[in-house]
Structure 1
Amino acid sequence: MATTVDRTGRSPLHPLHALLLAFPIALFACALLSDIAYLKSAEMQWSNFSAWLIVGALLFGAPVLLWSAASLFRRRRAPESRRAPAYFLLLLVMWVAGLVNAFKHSQDAWSSVGSLGLALSVVSALTALAAGWIAYGGERIAR
């Protein structure tokens, strides 16, 4: 499998950063799918599964967010990327929406995945996908 490389010969992301970012993308997207499955079937286990997926996404998303913040502040002295602030903001929105969603999913099953729970899952999944799009897009944003 080929890795995208920029003009200086470096890959766009540090390999550990790229690996950690893959988890929130996949887990938030799967949580959205399990929320939809719960709304279609009313099977309580889908809500439980979604709650665990959200917690996993938050656990892996926290170091990605911190890495992005450190990279953003380090770049203030030598700005190399215009995408870094957007990437950081997307990760921040993803993580905060995911945290609120985790609290929402801790309620009983039906109230956890009502309109607010589903909306938070959509926001978390879409911002994770958008952050992944920026991160894996080729321009180096976080070392």
Structure 2
Amino acid sequence: MRDETDNGNPRSTARIFGHPIHPMLIPFPVAFFIGAFVTDIIYAQTAYLMWQYFSIWLITAGLIMGGLAAVFGFIDYFGNRRIRALRPATPHMLLNLLAMILSLVNAFVHSRDGWQAVVPTGIILSGIVVLILLVSAWLGGSMVYRHGAAVVE
């Protein structure tokens, strides 16, 4: 079995059976936060409270899974100076932190009653988080596909 350092790529510190954990967890909070934005839009169009409830549950699930992904992201970032040295690594981490902070604020906004919980502040925060995640995902993909972070050849 070849070690990841054989190909010269920066290796992930947090791994299970040789697979990096952080990239395995990232799709979950991304899907939850995008789902919350979609349910916010539907709520703004219909005013059915069910959609507001869906939004707060999706934001909460996104915060839980995002927090878990962040733990393993920090382990990779601080555990390997070669990953920290990658140009996209620090902006990727900072954008993810910003998305999590805004999502926490958004959870408190969504905890209000009725229309004010979503329109306009909640939907704006959800939209900003989705935009931040798009940029962050681009940077994360760049680290993998351009710089070979955690890739075994």
Q: TM-score, normalised by structure 1?
A: 0.82
What residue is the counterpart of 1:22 in the other structure?
Answer: 27
Map 1:1-80; keep pairs closer than 5 Å: 8=7, 14-76=19-81, 79-80=84-85
2:7 is paired with a residue of what secondary structure? coil
Distance 1:97 1:16 in 2: 24
Give the counterpart letter for 1:128 in structure 2. L
Structure 1 pair 11–84 and aligned structure 2 pair: CA distance change class (3 A): closer
1:64, distance to aligned residue in structure 2 (A): 1.8
Give the counterpart letter for 2:79 in structure 1. R
Distance 1:142 1:90 in 2: 20
1:19, distance to aligned residue in structure 2 (A): 1.8
1:110 matched to 2:115? yes
Rg larger in 1 or in 2?
2
Distance 1:100 1:93 in 2: 11
Q: Is the 8 A contact 2:42 2:51 kept in 1?
A: yes
Give the counterpart letter for 2:66 in structure 1. G
1:70, distance to aligned residue in structure 2 (A): 3.2
Distance 1:142 1:97 in 2: 28
Among candidates 123, 133, 140, match of residue 138 of structure 2: 133
Matched pairs, number: 137
Unaligned segments of structure 2, at least 5 residues: 1-5, 13-18
Unaligned segments of structure 1, at least 5 residues: 1-6
Structure 1 pair 22–11 and aligned structure 2 pair: CA distance change class (3 A): farther
Root mean square deviation of aligned Cα: 2.7
Distance 2:83 2:100 in 1: 27
1:136 is paired with a residue of what secondary structure? helix
